Amino acid sequence: MVIDPVCKMQVDENTPIKAEYKGNTYYFCSSNCQAEFKINSKKFVK
């Protein structure tokens, strides 16, 4: 399990809802969280 960077929910790494940012893969609980991340990735990555 990994943590969705937007809503902080636990997410299975096998989810198809993911995004790449600066060489790292981020996983999301929903397409809404994925869209929010894509709009402002810097806000969610430390």
Q: What is the pLDDT of residues 19-43, one digit of tens each?
A: 999 999 999 999 999 999 999 999 9
Distance CA 6, CA 46 (A): 12
Stated pTM of the model: 0.90
Give the model's pLDDT for residue 46.
Answer: 79
Domains of the chain, residue spans: 2-44
> DSSP code of 7?
T
Give residue 23's pLDDT.
96
Q: Given this model, what pLDDT does residue 18 score?
A: 97
Residue 15, strand partner residues = none
9-34: burial string, b at 16+ Cβ within 10 Å, e else = eebeeeeebebeeeeeebbbbeeebb
Q: What is the pLDDT of residue 11?
A: 97
Residue 44's φ and ψ, nearest 5 degrees, are -105, -10
